[in-house]
Amino acid sequence: MNPSPPPPRDPDLLEEALGLGRGGSPPWRLAFVEDCVETSGAFVLHHFLKRALSTEGDGTVVFLGLAQPFSHYDRVLRKMGCNLSVQRNKNKLHFIDLLNLEFLGERRLSNEKGENDIEIGFMDLYNRILRSIEAIRSKDYNGGWTTIIIDDLSHLEIAAHGSAKHVLDFLQYCRSLTSEMDCSLVILNHEDIHSSDEALQMLSHLDYISDILIKAETLSTGIAADVHGQMTVIIKDAPGGLIKKLHSFQFKVKENGVEFFYPGSRF
Amino acid sequence: MATAADGRLQGARSANTSSFSRARSSPSAVLPSPPNPGVKLGPNGATFVSSGIPDLDRILGGGFLLGSLVMVMEDADAPHHLLLLRNFMSQGVVHRQPVLFASPLRDPRAFLGTLPSPVSSSKEHRQRDTLVDHNQQDQEKGLRIAWQYKKYFGDQQSSQNHNRDVKQEFSNDFDLRKALERQHVQYIESMSIQDIPHLTILRDRCSNFLSGLPRSDGGNLSAGRIAIQSLCAPQCGYAEMDWDLVAFIRFLRSIIRSSNVVAVVTFPTSFLLPAFLKRWQHLADTLLSVRAIPDEDKDMAKLLTGYQDMLGLLHVHKVAQNNSQVPTVLEASTFSLKLQKRRSLVLERLNQAPVEASSGTSYSTSGTCSGPSKGSSLDF
Query: Is residue B200 included in any domain, yes or no?
Result: yes
Query: Is residue B118 included in any domain, yes or no?
Result: yes
Output the DSSP codes for A167-232.
HHHHHHHHHHHHHHHTEEEEEEEESTT--SHHHHHHHHHHHHH-SEEEEEE--TT---SS--EEEE
Residue B145 pLDDT > 60, yes or no? no
Closest partner residue to B324 (CB to CB) among A76, A108, A162 is A76
Quote the pLDDT of residue A68.
Answer: 92
User: In this predicted model, which residue has the larger pLDDT, A191 or B8?
Assistant: A191
Query: Is residue B32 included in any domain, yes or no?
Result: no
Quote the pLDDT of residue A105.
Answer: 52
A159:B242 CB<8 A:
no
CATH numbers and ranges of domains, chain A: 19-32+41-211 (3.40.50.300)
Residue B266 pLDDT > 90, yes or no? yes
User: What integer is the mean pLDDT of A51-61?
Assistant: 81
Domain of B348?
44-123+172-354+374-379
CA atoms within 13 A of residue B276's CA, in its CB half-sphere = 21
User: In this predicted model, which residue has the larger pLDDT, B377 or B214?
Assistant: B214
Query: Is residue B288 included in any domain, yes or no?
Result: yes
Q: Is B201 in the A-facing interface, judged by CB distances under 8 Å?
A: no
Residue A91 pLDDT > 60, yes or no? yes
Query: Is residue B1 included in any domain, yes or no?
Result: no
Residue B136 pLDDT > 70, yes or no? no
Average pLDDT of chain A to the nearest whole number: 83
Q: Burial letters for B199-232: b for 16+ Cβ neighbours within 10 Å, e otherwise?
A: beebbebbeebbeeeeebeebbbbbbbbbbbbbb
B278:A161 CB<8 A:
no
Quote the pLDDT of residue B158.
Answer: 39
- ipTM of model: 0.88
Chain B residues touching A192 at Cβ < 8 A: 278
Q: What is the CATH number of the domain that holds B81?
A: 3.40.50.300
Q: Name which of B325, B326, B328, B329 to mutate to probe chain A: the one with the most chain A Cβ atoms within 10 A of its Cβ.
A: B325
Query: Is residue B283 included in any domain, yes or no?
Result: yes
**Whole-number Å distance between alpha carbons of A46 and A77:** 7
Render pLDDT for A250-262 as a digit per residue (tens, 0 to 9): 999 998 889 899 8
Q: For chain B, what is the domain count? A: 1
Render pLDDT for B231-250 as a digit per residue (tens, 0 to 9): 888 877 777 788 889 999 99
Residue B166 pLDDT > 60, yes or no? no
Quote the pLDDT of residue B28.
Answer: 40
**Whole-number Å distance between alpha carbons of B245 and B238:** 8
Give A117's contacts (C-beta < 8 A, 6+ positions apart): A103, A104, A105, A109
Query: Is residue B79 included in any domain, yes or no?
Result: yes
A193:B246 CB<8 A:
no
pTM, two decimal places: 0.79
Query: Is residue B163 included in any domain, yes or no?
Result: no
Quote the pLDDT of residue B121.
Answer: 52
B243:A159 CB<8 A:
no
Chain B residues touching A203 at Cβ < 8 A: none
